[in-house]
Amino acid sequence: MECSAPITKQIINGWHYLQKIKQEYSSLREVKKENLQLRKKLAELSQKEVFYRELLLTNQRLESLLRLKQKLAYPSLTANVISYTPYFNPKLVVIDKGRKDGLKLHFPVLNIEGVVGQIAMLSSHYAKVLTIIDVNSRIGVKSQRTRVNGVFIGTGINTGEVKYIMKDKDVKVDDLFITSGLDGIFPKGLLVGKVISISEPKTGLFKKIVVKTSVDFCCLEEVIVLLKPSQWFSPHEQN
């Protein structure tokens, strides 16, 4: 009996040790389960935060568009940009409004930052907008400071050149160019961009004026289309 006592004690101690390990293992499993649940909950909360932040930002943009619409002297329509062509340098953008919404070719398009472009193609429910950074785009512009007139032609991502300004005319870096209203498409006074460089080639009569557009064409989401009065159209545009 006395000889078996130490063995029995070791067995009992071993059993208690195993029970302790079992309890600790169970506790660890519970902790792991709770951690997984907490991580899942945190991921859900993070996703909700992203969702609500996106709603807030969208609401802020729409409020800015509404304020702009109220300031404009022309009837207008808000539209969403649904695709870029090409995606990385959008020369054409597609919006979710079309002929059935009252749009016509050459209607001006802008956003809270400035001039975006004009309607170039139409279907019943969609329209393609030729942006001002496309090389085929032409906009009559003038210096807001000195009122000298030129023509803005797109050259690439968020840039363009103001052409046909004589070398003796006063234009400086950081001058703003706005629409002149002389092209028959855009009303005057809309922001186009800011001068970032000026040079005077040895040959020719004109300055080379590079302008950065006020609109960031890589981040277009919502736009405003100006519904031009009928007297703005030439006869061949009425249809």
Contact 103/77 with Cβ under 8 angstroms?
A: yes
d(CA 93, CA 105): 14
Which residues have CB under 8 Å from 63's CB, separation 6+? none
Q: What is the structure's pLDDT at 177?
A: 98
Contact 211/162 with Cβ under 8 angstroms?
A: yes
CATH fold of 138-213: Thrombin, subunit H (2.40.10)
Contact 81/222 with Cβ under 8 angstroms?
A: yes
Name the CATH architecture for the domain at 74-133+219-229.
Answer: Beta Barrel (2.40)
| pLDDT tens figures, 14-53 | 666 666 666 766 677 777 777 777 777 767 766 766 666 7
Side-chain-side CA neighbours of residue 154 (13 Å): 22
Same fold flag, 74-133+219-229 and 138-213: yes
Q: What is the structure's pLDDT at 108?
A: 95
Residue ranges covered by each domain of the chain: 1-71, 74-133+219-229, 138-213
Contact 162/102 with Cβ under 8 angstroms?
A: no
Q: What is the structure's pLDDT at 231?
A: 46
| pLDDT tens figures, 42-96 | 677 667 666 667 666 666 776 777 777 777 778 889 999 999 888 777 899 999 9
The pLDDT confidence band at residue 12, using thresholds 50, 70 and 90, is low
Residues facing 59 on adjacent strands: none
| pLDDT tens figures, 151-199 | 999 998 899 999 999 999 999 999 999 999 999 899 999 999 999 999 9
